[in-house]
Structure 1
């Protein structure tokens, strides 16, 4: 299959010949070149900058609309059942939001700022725990960023492990997340309206 067709036009012709193999859990591994193209597009559009210090936050130029949720109660173990229960609940919100924003056959781009980017098909799994590494940057930003964006950058989710925050942006994601969040996350750190 032609990579441009598979990626929905991402890369504007620069990804021809990339293999696209979806594994049993919905992941498409990309090589450094293909992942680099997608990463550059994301970093350029959103101005990504990594940082462990508050002077470097937020990690992206948060688009409108966006809502940035406070994850510090989860990290502090204040969620009923403790850290793992809270992380699992947030991962469920992230997965469900991605499923609400995509059709069953669609993929979203998953970015890792130090490893090759990839594609993820949210409908390939039913539970967050089916996603390899769900609790360490996959669906919850524990020790690494969680970065998912729609193929056209119209929506996305960025979890920041050092700010302990979750930025949900774009109309479909903001609406889907709000509809699913029934008291899991309560405090909003920042918000940009439509």
Structure 2
């Protein structure tokens, strides 16, 4: 498989979705399917399988944000790339701004993306990536300081790829760990 980042194609990773009607409809479908609740803990009805971890502090003494958040962001990037075929994309929501389409295979190193610290880490807004059919995804919650990987592909990928980046499990399948 070709590594598209070597060609400088990371600009093809994102496409904004028109809010009317597509973006709004996709957002409302996500809210309905997962019972999303802004500001509540947990923010969604975490399906089985799912794993929710506490986010490590992005303000570690040895590194300041955004550098301290980069390992989590890279893990999200890598997990999403494992979950989709080369040509496929996911939907990105944050609960406040217009939704977008994200192509994980257009990015190998999250640092190559402009403003990755807002797209791949819940920095003030939710970070939500979900498959178009809602079978898997990732939700980063800035209020709980947590990240939930749900659905078989995402759970399998994060278990395989998490090399100590995320350590404290808060919930499995929506139940306290």
TM-score using structure 1 length: 0.79
Partners in 2 of 1:105 and 1:192 — Cα distance?
30
Partners in 2 of 1:82 and 1:117 — Cα distance?
28
Are residue 27 (structure 1) and residue 14 (structure 2) matched? yes
- Structure 2 counterpart of 1:41: 29
Are residue 50 (structure 1) and residue 38 (structure 2) matched? yes
Query: Does the CA contact (< 8 Å) of 2:58 and 2:66 recur in 1?
Result: no
Give SS of 1:104's match.
coil
Does the C-alpha gap of structure 1 residues 28 and 83 become closer, same or farther in structure 2, counting only changes over 3 Å? closer
- Structure 1 counterpart of 2:68: 86
Where does the alignment leave 5 or more consecutive residues of structure 2 unmatched? 1-8
Aligned length: 165
Give the drift of 1:77.
Answer: 1.3
Are residue 66 (structure 1) and residue 56 (structure 2) matched? no
Give the drift of 1:145.
Answer: 0.8
Are residue 146 (structure 1) and residue 127 (structure 2) matched? yes
Give the drift of 1:156.
Answer: 0.3
- Structure 2 counterpart of 1:124: 106
TM-score using structure 2 length: 0.87
Query: Does the CA contact (< 8 Å) of 1:49 and 1:60 recur in 2?
Result: yes
Partners in 2 of 1:126 and 1:25 — Cα distance?
12
- Structure 2 counterpart of 1:17: none
- Structure 1 counterpart of 2:149: 168
Are residue 75 (structure 1) and residue 58 (structure 2) matched? yes
Post-superposition CA distance 1:100-126 (Å, at most 9, x none): 001111000001212221110011112
Partners in 2 of 1:118 and 1:23 — Cα distance?
15
Where does the alignment leave 5 or more consecutive residues of structure 1 unmatched? 1-21
Match of 1:182 among 160, 163, 171: 163
- Bigger Rg, structure 1 or 2: 1
Give SS of 1:190's match.
strand
